[in-house]
Amino acid sequence: MLDPQARALMDLVAARGVPPTHLLTPEEARRFFRERRFFTQPDPPAVSLVQELVASGPQGDIPLRLIRPAGVAPEAVLPVLVYYHGGGWTIGDRDTHDTLCRQLANGAGCAVVSVDYRLGPEHRFPAAVDDTLAATRWVHAHAGELALDVTRLAIGGDSAGGNLAAVVALAARDAGDLPIAFQLLVYPATDMRAVAPSHTSCAQGYMLTADSIAYYRGHYMPDPGQWSDWRASPLLREDLQDLPPALVLTAGFDPLRDEGRQYADRLSAAGNRVQYLCFERQIHGFITMGRVLDEANTAVDLCAGVLRRALNA
C-alpha cells in the first residue's frame, strides 16, 4: 500500500489546488519548488560551516555551497560528497536541497559540496553534465585549500541529480584522472526513453507524473535523438565495469522505480559493488520531506550511514 503519510500529503496538495508542474512556466515551477519546501522539509540542522564558493565551468562560473558537519574543527581534513540536486534539470538549487545536504554532512561525518548547475530550458543538455563534471573536478583540484581528502571523494544526487551522478561516475572512469570513491543514487533517472513498466503503472496519481516527466525532459532535452546518448541515459551505456561502489535507492510508487532498479542490476552484473533498496510505500521526491514523512528521515539516516562506512568517515 501507499504510505498513509504520503497519501495524506497528496490529498492535501489536491485540496489546496496546487497546480501540476507541467502547467507552470519554468520560472513559476522553480518558485513553487522553493516555497513548498518549508512545508515538507525539516528545519535545517546546525552545521559547523556553510561557505559559498564558485567553480570555473565551461560556460562561466558555477555556484557551490560547502557544508562542514557540526562538531568538527576548521582544520580537520574531511571526506567529501559532491551533491547534485534533483528537479528535472529544470528546477531546484542549493537552497531547495540545503537541509538534505546538511543532514547528510552531519550523519555521514563528511563535508558536502552542493552544485548549482545550469538548468533548462535556458541551458539544454549537456549543460548540466558539463557543469557537474567541471564542478567535481574543481573540488578535486582545490581539496587541499578546503581541508578535503581527495582520496575519499563521493558523488551523489536525487532524481535528475542521481542521473548526473551516474554520468559523472562514468565520465570520471573514462578519463581516468578523477577518482570517485562512492556514488549515492537516489531514485535516479537512468533512461530518457521512459519505457520501463513503472512509467505506465505509476504514470498518474503519485506526485511525479508522466506529464511532468515529459515537461522536464522537454525543457532539458527536447530532441528525441539525444535520449539514447549515455550522458542522458546511463542505463544504455554498454560498458558499466570498473565503477565506484554505489547505493541505489528507489521508491515503490515512482515512475522512475524500475529504471533505477535496472541500473543497480546492470552495475552489479558488471562486477561493481552495489547496494539496492526500494522504499516500497513511498513516492518520488520523498527523501527531502522529513517534516511530513517519517520514512524520509529513515532514508536519510540510511544514506548517511552507508556513506559514512564507504568513506571511513
Choosing from 3, 98, 229, 254, which is the catalytic residue?
Answer: 254
Residue 122 neighbours by CB distance under 10 Å: 10
Cβ pair 66, 49 in contact under 8 A: yes
| Cα 217–chain centre separation | 16
Choosing from 140, 199, 219, 284, which is the catalytic residue?
Answer: 284
Peptide bond into 126 cis (omega under 30): yes
Distance CA 306, CA 313 (A): 10
Residue 259 neighbours by CB distance under 10 Å: 28
Alpha carbon separation from 77 to 106, 137, 149, 153, 169 (Å, rounded): 15, 18, 6, 12, 23
Is 198 noted as a catalytic residue in this protein?
no
Cβ pair 182, 110 in contact under 8 A: no
Is 228 noted as a catalytic residue in this protein?
no
Residues whose CB falls within 8 Å of the CB of residue 150, separated by 6 or more in sequence, listed in order: 140, 143, 179
Residue 130 neighbours by CB distance under 10 Å: 19
Is 159 noted as a catalytic residue in this protein?
yes
Choosing from 93, 158, 159, 258, which is the catalytic residue?
Answer: 159
Q: Which residues are catalytic?
A: 159, 254, 284
